[in-house]
Amino acid sequence: MSDVSAEPQVATVTCPVCGNVVPVGAYCAACGTHLTHDAQSPSARRAHSYVAAPGESVLHLSVVSSLFPHLSHRSRGPFRIGLVAIVAALLVLAALRLQAPAIAVSALGIPLLFQLYIFEANLYDDEPLVATLLTIGVGAALGVGWSLLTSDYVTTASRLTLVGGSNTSHVVLAALVPAGAQLLMVVPVALMWLLRRNRYGESMDGFVFGSAGALGFVAAAVITDLAPELRAGVRITGPTANLYVQTVIHGIALPLVAACATGLIGAAIWLRRDANTNAPGRVFTLWPVALVVAVAVQVGLGYTDVSTPGNAVVITAHLAAAAAYLLALRIGLHHVLLHEAHDVRIGPPRVCHHCHHVVPEAPFCPNCGAAEVAMSRSSRRQLSLQPVAEETS
């Protein structure tokens, strides 16, 4: 058990989970455990309070608080509007049969929104160009190359399925294409780990690098895959059902699955585990498990794409995978942050980024349980420099 120094002096209690002496509150400021419940109680594991958005359950289905965890509650509104605008634009363009603009929004919509999030939260600190090139740039280059290399396999398998002459070997090869893509999506975050681990040492950095690289890969692959369809012109004729399916899958489902899966892998790779923690859910923090699950999901989606001619089954499978991965990302990041090794020191008072109460500077807010690393470094520095006159509600 370690004693945590506090400045100024505050009332303290010993955490039953990590053994640290921490300020009295609802949550342990050192490990994030819910202090008002027994250590073995399910409530102490915080399923009701997501560490990056304490007002929400870990199992709450939310794109914005899941994919953009560094944002405060007040900052999420514009990104919700941006996400709704992307979905609305995709549906309207499909209804108007404007294929070229629909492809552009499908490929660039969510990746650009994620880049806005990175710059809004200042996650790349003072080297945005280097980090962008090593994540999105490398991801995009790999996406173009993989798409050009494998497009013939997927096209042949899909045509055989449509005419009822499906060849097992073609279907198997085509189903493995997304698996190879998922493995390549990990390259940018692995590259950042090799080159920038000393500069960016937190698990949330790994999440950001993994998601950014995957979105660069998907954007480039979608443009490359759908480029031949632009020969039909800006506006297509005939039924719009296929265009709806194409825009929803390429513009919503694929980028969400890729960003969540690879972001979770990146966070797990980056994790520096606290040797003294006995927090539950260790399996959710292991990068080999996250990688195997991601590859398995991609194989399943690839097989569905090339073996099922029905649009309803295909779009349902992709949207279900996107929803499941949004929850998987929340569960994974929640446990990664609870298992991560922190500099356990209670500092001077400041205003919490999430609940806006004045609390001691610590790895977790004693009042709401928000993880400090789920806040951008620039925000942490700004809050630390601001004098606190009185508690705000």
The pLDDT of residue 41 is above 80: no
d(CA 351, CA 387): 9
- Do residues 197 and 234 share a domain? yes
Residue 198: both structure tokens together? 């000393």
d(CA 288, CA 306): 27
pTM above 0.95, yes or no: no
- Do residues 76 and 171 share a domain? yes
- Do residues 356 and 283 share a domain? no
Residues of the chain above pLDDT 90, percent = 41
311, 242 contact by CB (below 8 A): yes
The larger pLDDT score, comparing residue 40 to residue 187, is at 187
- Give the sign of the dihedral formed by CA 351, CA 357, CA 360, CA 363: negative
- Do residues 52 and 74 share a domain? no
> pLDDT per residue over 381-391, tens digit each?
776 655 554 44
- Do residues 4 and 101 share a domain? no
- Do residues 280 and 365 share a domain? no
254, 143 contact by CB (below 8 A): no
What is the number of domains present in the chain? Answer: 2
Question: Looking at residue 197, what is its pLDDT?
Answer: 85
Residue 170 CB coordination number (10 Å): 20
d(CA 134, CA 351): 34
- Do residues 29 and 167 share a domain? no
The pLDDT of residue 6 is above 70: no
Residue 97: both structure tokens together? 């049969």
Domain finish residue from 297, 312, 339: 339
d(CA 347, CA 345): 6
> pLDDT per residue over 311-370, tens digit each?
888 899 999 999 999 999 999 999 999 888 877 777 788 888 788 888 888 888 888 888
Domain finish residue from 339, 354, 374: 339
> pLDDT per residue over 45-98, tens digit each?
678 889 888 889 999 999 999 999 998 778 889 999 999 999 999 999 988 888
DSSP string, 153-209: HHHHHHHHHHTT---HHHHHHHHHHHHHHHHHHHHHHHHHHHHHTTT--SHHHHHHH
Range of the domain at 392: 1-61+342-393
- Do residues 218 and 362 share a domain? no
- Do residues 108 and 214 share a domain? yes
- Do residues 115 and 251 share a domain? yes
Residue 303: both structure tokens together? 């097989």
